[in-house]
Amino acid sequence: APGGAGAALFAEAAAPAALAAGVAAWSLSPQEQLVLAGAIGEPALGGLVARYSGAKPVSPAAGHILSRHIDHTGNAAAVAALAAELNTIGAGRLTIRRQRFTHEGKRHENVEASLGANGLSGIVILSAHLDSTAKDTPPYRPSADPAPGADDDASGIAAILAAAGAILALAAALPAAMRREIRLVLFNAEEQGLIGSRAYARELSQEGTEVVAAFQLDMIGHSTAQVRGFELHAGFTASAEVQRRSVQLAELVQAMCGQFADGGLAPQVFPGAEPFDPGEGRSDHYSFHLEGYPACLISEDFFAGPGPTGPPANPNPNYHQATDTTINEGYAAAISRAVTAAAWVAATR
């Protein structure tokens, strides 16, 4: 959720790997369009959201996950279910890892699924956060009360799971195309200040891993406007170079919106005319910025703008409440296809 993080030091990456110039002009082949459109559909996405927001059992054995808050037992159940589901989707082709980290004396885990490739330096990351909160429904007891988080961020969870299947289908259909490793990551403890993604991005930096693109999906399920606007946040005031490369990612997602027949999406790239991006520091993409990596947040129309002439905000009235139980499936699926396409292009061109 666009909730914000505390101040942190910025580490500029040295001589980073990068995407080639002109990514906004790249396009998909008809085969790539067909595979992506077939793999990321509305009913499947809606079913995934229902399972991870507690409307349906996540599995026959695990039952319903009523909350994914880090203090609720449902959080560990969600981690286990996501790792198992990615393993099933991968059918031996994805490498699954649960990265442990500690927050306030308690152990938590991120979930990562990677698909290796060779040919170009740097990796591509497609991510969302797996935890939830209903802190705006007082009196809220995190360890006991429901926090379904359908939009925030089961919509992102569903997009990542659907993307896993789509990328595997693309890799099977076009085995020579992938030239960069893709990592699908679900971060924990985002609602506490981007804790899981800070641990993850810091580990990448310490290991010397180069990241050419990080796409963070956070709240992509709410839209009531006639024009289906959504936001691409790339601003990072601490480094003009990191911001430039992040804007390049936003422009790539923007370009991918025109590659599918459903159309109708109106992407808004931040920062626009304004000097500051209101999404800076408000989701897990910021953890990558702090390590000098390019990253872009993809979200529904949470803010007004960009600029004084931009459209008004179309916020979800159920944000951080126990009533966050539904999504606009068609809207979420259209965004998911565009962002998955951008990640695929970043890994293959």
Structural tokens at position 94 = 């994805």
Print the domain residue range for 100.
23-269+283-348
Tell me what pLDDT residue 9 has. 65
Note whether residue 18 is domain-resident: no
Q: How confident is the model at residue 12 (pLDDT cuts 50, 70, 90)?
A: low
Q: Which letter does DSSP use for residue 80 in this model?
A: H
Q: Rounded mean pLDDT of the chain?
A: 95
Note whether residue 8 is domain-resident: no
Rounded to an integer, what distance in angstroms lies between the CA atom of residue 152 and that of residue 74?
15
Rounded to an integer, what distance in angstroms lies between the CA atom of residue 161 and that of residue 181?
17
Q: Which letter does DSSP use for residue 182 in this model?
A: E
Amino acid at 310: G
Query: Any idea what the CATH number is for the domain that residue 160 is in?
Result: 3.40.630.10
Note whether residue 40 is domain-resident: yes
* Half-sphere exposure in the Cβ direction for 291 (13 Å, CA): 25
Note whether residue 50 is domain-resident: yes
- Nearest to residue 88, comparing CAs of 56, 55, 113, 62? 113
Structural tokens at position 187 = 């971060």
pLDDT in tens, 167-221: 999 999 999 999 999 999 999 999 999 999 999 999 999 999 999 999 999 999 9
Note whether residue 55 is domain-resident: yes
- Nearest to residue 260, comparing CAs of 340, 184, 314? 340
Structural domains of the chain, count: 1
Q: Which letter does DSSP use for residue 20 in this model?
A: P
Note whether residue 197 is domain-resident: yes
Q: Model pTM? A: 0.95
Torsion angle defined by CA atoms of residues 229, 234, 236 and 240, in that order, rounded to the nearest 10 degrees: -130
Note whether residue 27 is domain-resident: yes
Rounded to an integer, what distance in angstroms lies between the CA atom of residue 241 and that of residue 237?
10
Which residue's structure tokens are 């990558």? 288
Which residue's structure tokens are 């179309």? 314
**Across 59-66, average pLDDT:** 96
Note whether residue 276 is domain-resident: no
